[in-house]
Amino acid sequence: MSDETIQLMEKALHDNGFRLTAARRAIVAMLSRTGGHVSADELADLVRTEAPGVGRMTVYRTLDLLHELELVRPVYQGTGAAHYVLMEDGHHHHLVCSTCDRVIEFDDCVLEEVEKVVGQRFNFEVKGHLLEFYGRCQECQT
Amino acid sequence: MSDETIQLMEKALHDNGFRLTAARRAIVAMLSRTGGHVSADELADLVRTEAPGVGRMTVYRTLDLLHELELVRPVYQGTGAAHYVLMEDGHHHHLVCSTCDRVIEFDDCVLEEVEKVVGQRFNFEVKGHLLEFYGRCQECQT
DNA sequence: CTCTGTGCAAAGGATTTGCACTACG
DNA sequence: CGTAGTGCAAATCCTTTGCACAGAG
């Protein structure tokens, strides 16, 4: 499934006329490996463990590109670095541990209704959503 | 009503053991005058037109303080400066326009229940959540 | 070959930190 | 008076930009 994500992203890049460079491959691969929810900087460091030549800026630019292609989404949670999450697998959400940063996925989606109501009230054409709970995971509660 | 906001904030500061300094008065007054939705920097500049001695840092620190007292809330809209809004209502979420990046707030919160269920299932101590809908706002639909 | 994409370094903006000074209570 | 609060400047953190070079198509 990680592989599928890679395929999907590489295809999207190609189909939109962007070149499939080594750096982009490495970034996309690492991104799908993490399952998302990393900052650009963290991702850059991760990518470098496997592809040392890749520069920080390339990571920023690639994330930007993936955002334009709606494959990835930045989440701003405070004053620190933006985190990027994968958008491609529509319905699943995250439990993010504040202590260890572990990300647990779940797919209990009761939002269609809210989505509809909110969309109508604001005349907003809803295309997707992001739901995350923050707190402490089992291991970190001790 | 602007005055009420000032009263409320000054009282909250006092009641929590914080000193009511000239700088804080000026900041709170200007904040309530703007009705919220300014960045720390903008607010600092505004405050300075009336109380030239006030430093930028004091504004940052005061906003932080007001945030702790739950009187004000930062809104992060991308990579730029955080905006602070007056907190009249507890829960609120975002509609983020993919086209113009406009952020619309709404406060329809049906998540308490989901929060509880999910928390129990994963033995995850939920402390907060983030819900955002993505799509196109009214103006961008044409 | 051509032009997109890359990497470096340096700039840029927003926020935080360290420290001596001021003034609230 | 003592301590919380202040202001300045410098530091830091995240991100963007400018430019010459490299490599995908």
| pLDDT tens-digit series, residues A18-77 | 999 999 999 999 999 987 789 999 999 999 999 989 999 999 999 999 999 989 988 887
On whether any CB of chain A is under 8 Å from the CB of B49, the answer is: no
A135: left (phi over 0), alpha (psi -120 to 50) or beta: left
Contact B73, B87 (CB under 8 A): yes
Q: Which residue has the higher pLDDT, A63 or A95?
A: A63
Per mean pLDDT, which range of A134-138, B62-66, B84-88, B110-114 is the poorest?
A: B110-114
On whether any CB of chain A is under 8 Å from the CB of B130, the answer is: yes
User: Is pLDDT above 70 for A89?
Assistant: no
Q: Cα dihedral sign for B98, A73, B105, A112?
A: positive
Interface test with B, best of A94, A131, A140 (most B CBs within 10 A): A131
User: Is pLDDT above 90 for B43?
Assistant: yes
Facing B76 at nearest CB: one of A76, A119, A130: A76
Q: CB distance B108–A95 less than 8 Å?
A: no
The pLDDT of B82-90, averaged and rounded, is 75
- pLDDT value, residue A92: 66
- pLDDT value, residue A109: 64
Q: CB distance B135–A123 less than 8 Å?
A: no
Q: Which residues of B touch A82 (CB under 8 A)?
A: 79
Facing A131 at nearest CB: one of B108, B129, B135: B129
Q: Where are chain B's structural domains?
A: 3-86, 90-141
User: Is pLDDT above 60 for B89?
Assistant: no
User: Is pLDDT above 90 for B26?
Assistant: yes
The pLDDT of B90-103, averaged and rounded, is 68
CATH 3.40.50.300 fits domain B90-141: no
Write out the two tokens for B109.
């919160």
Mean pLDDT, chain A, as a whole number? 84
CATH of domain B3-86: 1.10.10.10
The residues, ordered by sequence, that sit 6+ positions from B102 with a Cβ below 8 Å of its Cβ are B96, B137, B139, B140
pLDDT level of residue A1 (50, 70, 90 thresholds): low
Query: Using the CB atom, is residue B53 less than 7 Å from strand D?
Result: yes
pLDDT level of residue A12 (50, 70, 90 thresholds): very high
How far does the CA of residue A139 sit from the closest CA of chain B (Å)? 9
- pLDDT value, residue A108: 60
